[in-house]
Amino acid sequence: MLTLYRLPIALLLLLVTQFTQPGMAQLPAAATHRLQVHFSPKANWINDPNGMVYYKGTYHLFFQYHPNSTQWGPMHWGHATSSDLVNWKEASIALYPDSLGTIFSGSAVADINNTSGFGKDGQVPLVAIFTHHNAALEKTTNTFQNQSIAYSLDEGKTWVKYANNPVVVNPGITDFRDPKVSWYEAGKKWIMTLATLDRITFYSSPDLKNWQRESEFGQNAGAHGGVWECPDLFSMEQDGKIVWVLLVSINPGGPNKGSATQYFIGDFDGKTFTAAHTDTRWVDYGTDNYAGITWSNTGDQKIFIGWMSNWLYAGDLPTTTWKGAMTLPRELALQRVGREVMLTSRPVPQLTLLQGKAVTHRAVKVSSHLDFTKKLGALQLPCRVKIEGIAVKDFALVFSNPLGEALVIGYEKATNQYYIDRSKSGKVAFNKSFPGRQAAPRLALNDVIDLDLVIDVSSVELFADKGLSVMTAVYFPNQTYNKLSLRSPLPVTMDKITYTPLKAAPVK
Enzyme catalytic residues: 48
- Residue by residue, DSSP assigns 300-315 as T-EEEEEESS-TTTGG
Rounded to 5°, the CA angle 168-49-45 comes to 110
- DSSP 8-state class, residue 10: H
Summary count for the chain: helices (H), strands (E): 3, 34
276/85 Cα distance (integer angstroms): 32
As a whole number of Å, the end-to-end CA separation of the chain is: 26
Contact 344, 283 (CB under 8 A): no
Q: Which one-letter amino acid corresponds to residue 34?
A: R
Q: Which amino acid, residue 120?
A: K
Compute the C-alpha angle 144/197/281, nearest 5°. 145
Please answer whether residues 414 and 444 qualify as being in contact, where contact means their C-beta atoms are separated by less than 8 angstroms.
no
Rounded-to-integer distance, Cα 482 and Cα 330, Å: 26
Strands (E) in 318-433, as ranges, are 322-323, 330-337, 340-347, 359-366, 369-371, 383-391, 395-400, 406-412, 417-421
Do 124 and 116 touch, CB atoms closer than 8 A?
Answer: no
Q: Could you say which DSSP state residue 502 is in?
A: B
Query: Which among 298, 309, 217 has a CA at the least distance from the CA of 263?
Result: 217
Q: What SS3 class is residue 167?
A: coil
Cα gap 105→50, rounded to integer Å = 6
Rounded to 5°, angle at Cα 50 from 111 and 87: 95
Indicate the length of the chain as a whole number. 508
Q: Please check whether residue 293 is in contact with residue 232, taking contact to mean a CB–CB distance below 8 angstroms.
A: yes
